[in-house]
Amino acid sequence: MPTTQRRTRPRKSLTTLKAAPAAAAGALAMLLAASAWAGYNVWTGDYTFSRQELQDAVDKRFPARLRYAQVLDVQLTHPRLLLDEANNRVTTQMDAQVSNTLLPAPPINGTLSLSSGLRYDPAKRAVLLDNPSVERVQVAGMPAQYGEQLNAIGAVVAQQLLRDYPLYTFKPEELHVAGKDVEPGAITVLADGIKVQVNTR
């Protein structure tokens, strides 16, 4: 009776079998490490910062005190950050008190609103308020003829107080994801925060 020889399949190298899971595990570990950074989404490749995080950043700039035309003392307090999703902008409202340092008149109290775009500065690694402008000045009981002067004060506040003010500064390790260097790109204002897309260099 003829002897039937069984064909034996060549065994895969144990090293090869272990290498594939190890490589996958390493890649997954890198992704998980990236996801540990606050606000980073490994699936969409962007950072998201909440309204409260942005508000906390703006709070650090206040209270502030400025001098206008050498005679007007402007005090700014209680900033409130509003997100303008439709126009991809942010608005900073603040309480303003204006006093004439030469006259013993009571101070004028009102509300100032400044609208800003957002941009990323590679040198500073920061998301900045871009080109803030006066959106609204509200002062109860103020005659209309003073509107131009109040807007001029608001413009000075916008440039001196909020121009290029950083809302978030990235740490160097936050710009190195899954073994690759990345750089923030498009910034989108959301209903409850902002989203910063990151692109591979």
CA-nearest of 58, 65, 45 to 174 is: 45
pTM above 0.85, yes or no: no
Residue 40 tokens read as: 């980073």
Query: All domains of the chain, ordered by start, with CATH?
Result: 61-167 (3.15.10.40)
pLDDT digits (tens, 9 = 90+) for 36-80: 445 888 778 899 999 999 999 999 999 999 999 888 999 999 999
Q: How many residues does the chain have?
A: 201
**Average pLDDT score over the chain:** 84
pLDDT digits (tens, 9 = 90+) for 107-142: 889 999 999 999 999 999 999 999 999 999 988 777
pLDDT digits (tens, 9 = 90+) for 68-87: 988 899 999 999 999 999 99
How far apart, in Å, are the Cα atoms of 35 and each of 31, 46, 193? Answer: 6, 10, 18
First CA to last CA distance, the chain: 70
